[in-house]
């Protein structure tokens, strides 16, 4: 098997421990990998701007080369200051998704430019903001959704997640495409079906002349599993 040249890490519950920090032992291992010539990347559902604002707090400021954010919808190459995004959801589709859950005790959040934008203030958005150390802002979604946005997240209590998943099965739109995924015990996300962590990784590594066989990825959620599964399939095709 080919030796990887770039290592990608999910953040929450993977690189970040239960206290929301990177342990000294993990930092030491990352430093050794970086000193050995590996490129290091983050591959997360958080948006790039919020990740950049927290790198110093996580003590990752001098270690991370590439950020794949918003579940693969945007990338930022810190070495070359290269930013790229793809396939946002149309505002009218996001509003239709929100209306589909109007009778459930949930809230909605759109991570964008380092802020969690939400249509209302409640315990759900407060809990998410506190856990992720990302500020939130209540805005008029009729105005906010005039332009496409990368994704929309449903925020709920863990006990409500099964109701959210079952409700998602009854949503359809013939004009627009979207894909859904549970990404945490309190988060269920909608984004364009072409978007995913493997897509984001490929978008990030192509300028380096790398492919998925040059990547080793770590994560804990379903979207991380998809990325690792695609990596394994690529390896099998080559070998």
Domain boundaries, the chain: 6-86+195-238, 91-191
- Nearby residues of 195 by Cβ (< 8 Å), 6 or more positions away: 70, 71, 72, 73, 86, 87, 150, 151, 179
Question: How far is 51 from 121, CA to CA, in rounded Å?
Answer: 23
Which residue ranges in the chain fall short of pLDDT 70? 1-2, 221-239
pTM: 0.88
Question: How far is 74 from 200, CA to CA, in rounded Å?
Answer: 7
As assigned by CATH, the class of the 6-86+195-238 domain is alpha beta
Report the 10 Å Cβ neighbour count for 34: 16
Domains 6-86+195-238 and 91-191 share a fold: no
φ/ψ of residue 17, rounded to 5: -85, -170
Question: Helix crossing, 197-205 with 222-238: angle to 10°?
Answer: 60
- Nearby residues of 175 by Cβ (< 8 Å), 6 or more positions away: none
pLDDT of the residue at 239: 39
Question: How far is 224 from 218, CA to CA, in rounded Å?
Answer: 7
Alpha-carbon torsion angle 173, 166, 147, 137, nearest 10:
160
pLDDT of the residue at 231: 45
pLDDT of the residue at 226: 54
Question: How far is 83 from 232, CA to CA, in rounded Å?
Answer: 27
Residue matched to tokens 């997640």: 161
As assigned by CATH, the class of the 91-191 domain is alpha beta
């Amino acid at each position: 098997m080919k030796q990887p040249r770039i290592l990608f890490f999910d953040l929450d519950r993977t690189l970040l421990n239960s206290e929301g920090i990177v342990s000294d032992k993990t930092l030491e291992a990352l430093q050794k990998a970086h000193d050995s010539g590996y490129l290091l990347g983050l591959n997360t559902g958080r948006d790039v701007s919020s990740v950049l604002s927290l790198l110093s707090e996580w003590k990752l400021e001098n270690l991370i080369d590439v950020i794949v954010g918003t579940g693969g919808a945007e990338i930022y190459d810190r070495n070359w200051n290269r930013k790229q995004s793809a396939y946002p959801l149309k505002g009218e589709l996001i509003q239709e998704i929100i209306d589909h859950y109007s009778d459930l005790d949930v809230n909605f959040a759109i991570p964008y430019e380092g802020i969690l934008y939400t249509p209302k203030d409640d315990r759900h958005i407060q809990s998410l903001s506190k856990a992720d150390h990302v500020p939130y802002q209540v805005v008029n979604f009729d105005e906010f959704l005039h332009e496409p946005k990368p994704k929309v997240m449903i925020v709920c209590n863990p006990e409500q997640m099964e109701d959210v998943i079952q409700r998602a099965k009854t949503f359809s739109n013939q004009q627009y495409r979207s894909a859904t995924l549970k990404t945490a015990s309190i988060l269920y996300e909608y984004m364009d079906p072409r978007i995913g962590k493997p897509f984001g990784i490929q978008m990030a590594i192509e300028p380096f002349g790398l492919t998925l066989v040059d990547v080793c990825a770590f994560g804990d959620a379903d979207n991380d599993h998809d990325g690792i599964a695609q990596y394994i399939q690529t390896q099998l095709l080559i070998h």
